[in-house]
Structures are given as C-alpha cells and as structure tokens.
Amino acid sequence: MGLFDSIKDRFNSAEFTVAPNKKLKTISADFMAAFDLTLVFYKGKQIADGDLTLNQLNEKTTKDVKKASADALKIKGSTKVGDAEKLFDATFGVTVQIKDKTGKILVPNEITIGKAARGEY
C-alpha cells in the first residue's frame, strides 16, 4: 500500500496553488479541499485573522510578507509537510503549520502531505 500511495501522490493531478490576494480563510479552505488537512497562518506567534489576505498580513506583522505571483507556490501530495511550510515562508514570508483535518494535531514535518491526508503518521 505504501509504494502505491507514494506513486499516486507523485502523479496526482491535484496541485495546490496560492494567490496572494485571496483571504487566508479561503486559502485554508482550498487546502482542506485539496488535501483534507488544515492549514493555519500565523502572525508572529498568534493565529492570523482569516479575513486578511496575504498582502494585508504584510501590514499587520513585523515579518515582511513578500509579494509573489500566484504560480510561485505549488504543492502536491508528494511534498513533505516541512518542505511545504518552508515554501510558504520562502515564497510569501509567512509562517504556516499543517494540522490534521480537525485542526488539533500538528502533522510531522518528515512525512508527505499525501500520507498526512491518509492519516499515516
């Protein structure tokens, strides 16, 4: 089952992209729809207001949120959780955490998003 799932994750046509002018709650909802996992945005050490866009978050935090094109960030099921979180930081300068579907348990950084979506951790 593991090898087949890994191959499926790599070639899955579902790909998650981010537009910087979308609200954080919309980006999180899109992430949930794509991977059945919770994506949480942070402003410093606090959870960011979901009604903000990535661009607006720049005005609310001391960390500089970079303006990038919508196709600058692409995540697939084969992407490791830790790599996806780093990609948000490198692309937009924002801190995110990926949690289980309920939003209560942090997903380990070393597993793929596909494994996390299947609860294999």
Contact 81, 16 (CB under 8 A): no
Q: Total structural domains in the chain?
A: 1
Range of the domain at 52: 2-117
Spatial distance between the Cα atoms of 62 and 55, rounded to a whole number of angstroms: 13
Model pLDDT for residues 73-90, shown as the tens digit of each residue: 888 889 999 999 999 888
Most confidently modeled range among 7-21, 30-44, 47-61: 30-44
pLDDT at 45: 85
User: pLDDT for 5-29, tens place per residue?
Assistant: 554 554 454 567 887 888 999 999 9
- What is the structure's pLDDT at 17? 80
pTM recorded for the entire structure: 0.81
SS3 string of the chain?
CHHHHHHHHHHCCCCEECCCCCEHHHHHHHHHHHHCCEEEEEECCEECCCCCEHHHHHHHCCCCCCCCCHHHCEECCCCEHHHHHHHHHHHHCCEEEEECCCCCCECCCCCEHHHHHCCCC
